[in-house]
């Protein structure tokens, strides 16, 4: 992966035969930060749904697709990448200063996001041109 502040995280899968599979996410082992917030995104039954469309100044997140599938579009200001996500044991770490969009959701898609801090609107960059200017000013 050639994007700044982004990596794939593979959780351990514990196969328990007929009793299912367990995946475990532990702070500072699998998740590279202390988790202060967890939220879910679901009922994405509109084929044209588009989520994200922003970056964060400081927040770190890991996003998991718990059920179904979706496409995650990523942009670090220099490189862009799309990732099709459909494995509940695979998360994508989204560090600060990473523009992201989520789209092409399956009807049954459920996303879970673990975040490093509480909701803070002032941490969001919601305009792509402002995002590019923000990155220029960070150098």
For residue 84, which of 99, 69, 66, 74 has the smallest C-alpha distance?
A: 69
State how beta strands 70-75 and 51-56 pair: unpaired
Contact 109, 42 (CB under 8 A): yes
**Known catalytic residue: 10?**
no
What does the alpha-carbon distance between residue 21 and residue 36 come to, in Å, rounded to a whole number? 26
Which one of 54, 56, 67, 100 is the catalytic residue?
54
| Residues annotated catalytic, as ranges | 54
């Amino acid at each position: 992966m050639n994007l700044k502040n982004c990596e794939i995280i593979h959780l351990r899968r514990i196969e328990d035969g007929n009793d299912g599979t367990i995946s475990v996410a532990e702070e500072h082992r699998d998740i590279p930060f202390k988790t202060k917030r967890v939220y879910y995104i679901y009922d994405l039954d509109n084929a044209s749904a588009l989520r994200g469309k922003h970056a964060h100044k400081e927040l770190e997140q890991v996003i998991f697709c718990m059920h179904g599938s979706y496409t995650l579009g990523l942009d670090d200001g220099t490189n862009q990448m799309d990732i099709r996500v459909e494995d509940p044991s695979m998360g994508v770490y989204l560090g600060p200063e990473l523009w992201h969009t989520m789209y092409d959701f399956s009807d049954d898609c459920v996303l879970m996001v673990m975040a490093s801090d509480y909701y803070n609107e002032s941490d969001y960059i919601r305009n792509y041109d402002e995002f590019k200017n923000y990155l220029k000013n960070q150098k």
